[in-house]
Structure 1
Amino acid sequence: MSSQTPKQALFAEFAAVARALGHAHRLELLEQLAQGERSVEVLAQKSGLSIANASQHLQHMRRAGLVTSKRDGKFVYYRLADDAVLDLLAALGRLAERNVAEVERIMRRYFNDRDGLEPVPREELLERMRARSVTVLDVRPEDEFALGHLPNALNIPLKAMEARLNELDPSREVVAYCRGRFCVLSFEAAALLRSRGFKARCLEDGLPEWRAAGLPVVAGVS
Structure 2
Amino acid sequence: MSPDLPPKKRLFEQFARVAKALASANRLALLEALAQGERSVETLSQAVDMSVANTSHHLQILRDGGLVQSRKEGLQVIYRLTDDAIPTVVGGICGLAERHLAEVERIVRENFDRRDSLTPVRRDQLLQMARAGEATVIDVRPAGEYEAGHIPGAINIPLDTLPERLAELPIEQEIVAYCRGPYCMLAFEAVEKLRLSGYRARRLEDGFPEWKAEQLPIAKHTQ
Report the Cα distance in structure 2 between the residues aligned to 1:180 and 1:48, rounded to whole angstroms.
Answer: 18
Report the Cα distance in structure 2 between the residues aligned to 1:54 and 1:203, rounded to whole angstroms.
Answer: 30
SS at match of 1:17: helix
Report the Cα distance in structure 2 between the residues aligned to 1:76 and 1:123, rounded to whole angstroms.
Answer: 36
Q: Which amino acid aligns with 1:149?
A: H
Q: Which amino acid aligns with 1:119?
A: P
Matched, 1:113 2:97: no
Q: How does 1:208-219 map to 2 (within 5 A)?
A: 208-219=209-220
Q: Which residue of 2 aligns with 1:194?
A: 195
Report the Cα distance in structure 1 between the residues aligned to 2:87 and 2:157, rounded to whole angstroms.
Answer: 25
Query: Any conservation in 2 of the 1:114–1:188 contact (CA below 8 Å)?
Result: no
CA deviation digits over 1:79-119, x for unaligned, max 9?
A: 11102312210111100110111110011111111111111
Q: Which amino acid aligns with 2:13?
A: A
Alpha carbons of 1:2 and 1:205: their partners in 2 closer, same or farther (altered >3 Å)?
Answer: closer
Q: Which residue of 1 aligns with 2:141?
A: 140
Report the Cα distance in structure 1 between the residues aligned to 2:135 and 2:111, rounded to whole angstroms.
Answer: 26
Q: Which amino acid aligns with 2:215?
A: G
Alpha carbons of 1:221 and 1:154: their partners in 2 closer, same or farther (altered >3 Å)?
Answer: farther
Q: How does 1:1-222 map to 2 (within 5 A)?
A: 3-220=4-221
Report the Cα distance in structure 1 between the residues aligned to 2:21 and 2:112, rounded to whole angstroms.
Answer: 27
Query: Any conservation in 1 of the 2:88–2:213 contact (CA below 8 Å)?
Result: no
Report the Cα distance in structure 2 between the residues aligned to 1:38 and 1:110, rounded to whole angstroms.
Answer: 29
SS at match of 2:33: helix
Q: Which amino acid aligns with 2:14?
A: E
Identity across aligned pairs (percent)? 52
How much is the aligned-residue C-alpha RMSD, in angstroms?
Answer: 1.6
Alpha carbons of 1:4 and 1:141: their partners in 2 closer, same or farther (altered >3 Å)?
Answer: same
Q: Which amino acid aligns with 1:48?
A: D
TM-score normalised by length of structure 1: 0.95
Report the Cα distance in structure 1 between the residues aligned to 2:67 and 2:180, rounded to whole angstroms.
Answer: 18
Alpha carbons of 1:2 and 1:50: their partners in 2 closer, same or farther (altered >3 Å)?
Answer: closer
CA deviation digits over 1:40-78, x for unaligned, max 9?
A: 111111111111111110010001001111112211111
Structure 1 residues without counterparts, runs of 5 or longer: none
CA deviation digits over 1:128-162, x for unaligned, max 9?
A: 11111111010001111111111121111111222
TM-score normalised by length of structure 2: 0.95
Report the Cα distance in structure 2 between the residues aligned to 1:105 and 1:197, rounded to whole angstroms.
Answer: 31
Q: How far 1:5 moved relative to its partner?
A: 2.1
- After TM superposition, which residue ranges in structure 1, 4 or more long, deviate above 3 angstroms? none
SS at match of 1:27: helix
Alpha carbons of 1:167 and 1:221: their partners in 2 closer, same or farther (altered >3 Å)?
Answer: farther
Q: How far 1:2 moved relative to its partner?
A: 10
Structure 2 residues without counterparts, runs of 5 or longer: none
